[in-house]
């Protein structure tokens, strides 16, 4: 036993010595150390990042600017209250996506919309409004950018859509252009990584009919739009039976842009098993997360592609986050089930804003999405299920 202890001590000392030698090398001073705060502050160079901390001890928002951090206290907010509202949110989303067919569908969906509206109002009062008031964001044009980085059960909630939407100016949408980031480091890496050089091209994955799933008649509308906006040499279309898991994984590294128009699904109790439903099976989050990409833009016109899990919400296990972590600078995704026609409307508005001269300009993705969703919100103010799901990740 003594020999084993001595051996472990010797190995530990040898390891410490090796780490110390590595840290003497230029640029590796922080090897195996947590990132320094002054390094992470650069993530907020284009606008504040709001980290919303939820714990059983206290709840706060940390407003991260390039010059430092400011704390917004939530003295009356508890972790138990956040869990309660997250449960109410999931119940409303489930009621909308999987209505009880034994009851009147209009009444069921009306109840679901009212539930979503209540969640958005609570998130405004409890979380978002205190932050925006501290920042002095009142809705004056042009709207500033802001990045949300929620933690715990708040990762399930649509903070970007928080608001009392019958009151002019009393919503996040009225005051800022929102994006999300899973971590400060992920945003920093996306911000500092320059777009790839040379002309880009897009992989289009389109499945209007998927075995065992309802048809998606607007998929061909999205494909037709991209064919109109991008020349043939800048797009590859994998449609229906050609859109297999192996084919998609093989083509992704060859394209800077990717558009998925298909069914998606997420398992709240096993989020890493979620993914996109392709011709021969599911393209899982783990399939994406095990690779590296040098992509500029990915649009996930599919359901639940930004939905995480309930067991480990801080882990942010979503398809959108996986694409973002593995190299895609900008990702547009959805928090829950979306209407096929609405997804196509948002897709068209976003791409018409981003595509110019036969190429894509992804750095305008957040603003393009904000404006596209804003129009739908104005057309359907009493139906938050229609316009709330769409989110942007990236710089």
For residue range 25-59, what is the model confidence (pLDDT) as tens digits? 877 677 666 777 778 889 999 999 999 999 989 99
Assigned token pair, 46: 């284009």
What mean pLDDT is predicted for residues 140-156? 92
Instruction: Tell me the two tokens of residue 146.
Output: 């802001």
Residue 278 tokens, joined: 């392709």
Min mean pLDDT across 2-11, 20-29, 278-287, 365-374 is at: 2-11
| Region 361-382 average pLDDT | 94
Residue 55's CATH number:
3.30.420
User: What does the pLDDT read at residue 100?
Assistant: 52
Rounded percentage of the chain residues whose pLDDT exceeds 90: 51
Is residue 223 one of the residues assigned to a domain?
Answer: yes
Give yes or no: residues 22 and 69 share one domain. no
Residue 291, CA atoms < 13 Å, CB-side half-sphere: 18
Predicted local distance difference test score (pLDDT) of residue 156: 85
Residue 133's contacts (CB-CB under 8 Å, 6 or more residues apart) are: none
* Its pTM surpasses 0.75: yes
Are both 44 and 29 inside the same structural domain? no
| Residue 140 is assigned to a structural domain of this protein | yes
Q: What are phi and psi of 81, to 5 degrees?
A: -65, -40
Domain boundary among 123, 153, 188: 188
Out of 311-325, 326-340, 352-366, which region has the weakest mean confidence (pLDDT)? 311-325
148 shares its domain with 221: no
Q: Enumerate residues 6+ apart whose C-beta is below 8 A from 339.
A: 386
Tell whether the model's pLDDT for residue 375 goes beyond 80: yes
Q: Residue 373: what pLDDT?
A: 96
- Specify whether 70 is located in the same domain as 28: no
The whole-number pLDDT of residue 175 equals 98
pLDDT at residue 103, as a whole number: 56
| String of DSSP letters for 128-164 | IHHHHHHHT---PSSPPEEEEEE-GGGGGS-GGG-B-
Residues 23, 105: one domain?
no
| In contact, 119 and 162? CB cutoff 8 Å | no
pLDDT value of position 270: 56
Place of tokens 């709207």: 143
pLDDT value at position 312? 44
Q: Name the residue range of residue 354's domain.
A: 198-393
The answer, yes or no, to whether residue 382 has pLDDT greater than 80, is yes
**Cβ–Cβ < 8 Å for 135, 64:** no
Q: Is pLDDT at 199 greater than 80 in this prediction?
A: no
Instruction: Examine the domain organization and report whether 165 and 236 are in the same domain.
Output: no
Given a contact cutoff of 8 angstroms between Cβ atoms, the answer to whether 177 and 48 are in contact is no
- Mark whether 45 and 29 lie in a shared domain: no
Same domain (yes/no): 350, 211: yes
What CATH number does the domain containing 353 carry? 3.40.50.1460
Residue of 186 and 318 predicted with greater confidence: 186
61 and 24 belong to one structural domain: no
CA nearest neighbour of 9 among 254, 1, 157, 76: 1
* 274 in the same domain as 297: yes
In a domain, 193, yes or no: no
Same domain, 264 and 316: yes
> What percent of the chain stands above pLDDT 70?
85
In a domain, 222, yes or no: yes
The whole-number pLDDT of residue 211 equals 82
Q: DSSP letter string over 293-324?
A: ---SEEEEESTTTT---SSSGGG---HHHHHH
Q: What is the mean pLDDT of the chain?
A: 85
Among 89-93, 214-218, 307-311, 329-333, the range scoring the smallest mean pLDDT is 307-311
If asked whether residues 73 and 158 sit together in one domain, one would say: yes
pLDDT category at 309 given cuts 50, 70, 90 is very low
Give the mean model confidence (pLDDT) for residues 305-318: 53
Return the minimum-mean-pLDDT range out of 1-5, 204-208, 283-287, 289-293.
Answer: 1-5
Residue where one domain finishes, among candidates 167, 188, 209 = 188
Q: How many distinct structural domains can be found in the chain? A: 3
Q: Is the pLDDT of residue 238 over 50?
A: yes
Q: What is the mean pLDDT of residues 342-357?
A: 94
Q: Is the pLDDT of residue 316 over 70?
A: no
């Amino acid at each position: 036993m003594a020999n084993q202890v001595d051996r472990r001590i010797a190995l530990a000392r040898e390891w410490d010595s090796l780490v110390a030698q590595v840290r003497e090398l230029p640029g590796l001073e922080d090897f195996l150390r947590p990132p320094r705060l002054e390094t992470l502050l650069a993530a907020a160079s284009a606008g504040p990042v709001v980290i919303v901390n939820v714990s059983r001890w206290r709840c706060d928002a940390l407003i991260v600017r390039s010059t430092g951090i400011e704390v917004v206290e939530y003295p009356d907010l508890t972790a138990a209250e956040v869990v309660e509202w997250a449960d109410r949110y999931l119940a409303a989303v489930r009621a909308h996506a999987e209505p009880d067919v034994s009851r009147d569908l209009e009444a069921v969906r009306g109840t679901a919309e009212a539930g979503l509206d209540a969640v958005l109002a609570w998130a405004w009062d409890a979380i978002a409004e205190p932050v925006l008031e501290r920042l002095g964001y009142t809705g004056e044009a042009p709207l500033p950018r802001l990045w949300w980085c929620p933690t715990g059960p708040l990762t399930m909630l649509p903070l970007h859509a928080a608001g009392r939407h019958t009151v002019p100016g009393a919503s996040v949408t009225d005051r800022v252009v929102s994006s999300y980031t899973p971590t400060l480091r992920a945003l920093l890496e996306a911000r500092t990584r320059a777009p790839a050089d040379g002309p880009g091209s897009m992989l289009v994955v389109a499945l209007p009919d998927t075995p065992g799933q309802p048809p998606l008649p607007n998929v061909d509308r999205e494909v037709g739009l991209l064919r109109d906006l991008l020349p043939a040499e800048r797009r590859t279309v994998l449609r229906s039976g050609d859109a297999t898991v192996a084919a998609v994984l093989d083509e992704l590294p060859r394209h800077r842009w990717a558009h998925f128009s298909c069914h998606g699904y997420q398992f709240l109790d096993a989020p890493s098993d979620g993914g996109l439903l392709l011709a021969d099976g599911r393209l899982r989050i783990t399939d994406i997360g095990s690779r590296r990409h040098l992509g500029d833009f990915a649009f996930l016109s599919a359901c639940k592609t930004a939905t995480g899990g309930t067991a480990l919400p801080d882990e942010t296990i979503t398809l959108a986050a996986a694409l973002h972590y593995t190299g895609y600078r900008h990702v547009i995704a959805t928090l829950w089930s979306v209407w096929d026609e609405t997804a196509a409307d948002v897709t068209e508005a976003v791409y018409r804003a981003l595509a110019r001269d036969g190429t894509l300009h992804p750095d305008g993705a957040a603003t393009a999405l904000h404006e596209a969703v804003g129009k739908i919100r104005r057309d359907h103010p009493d139906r938050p299920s229609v316009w709330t799901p769409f989110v942007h990740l990236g710089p």
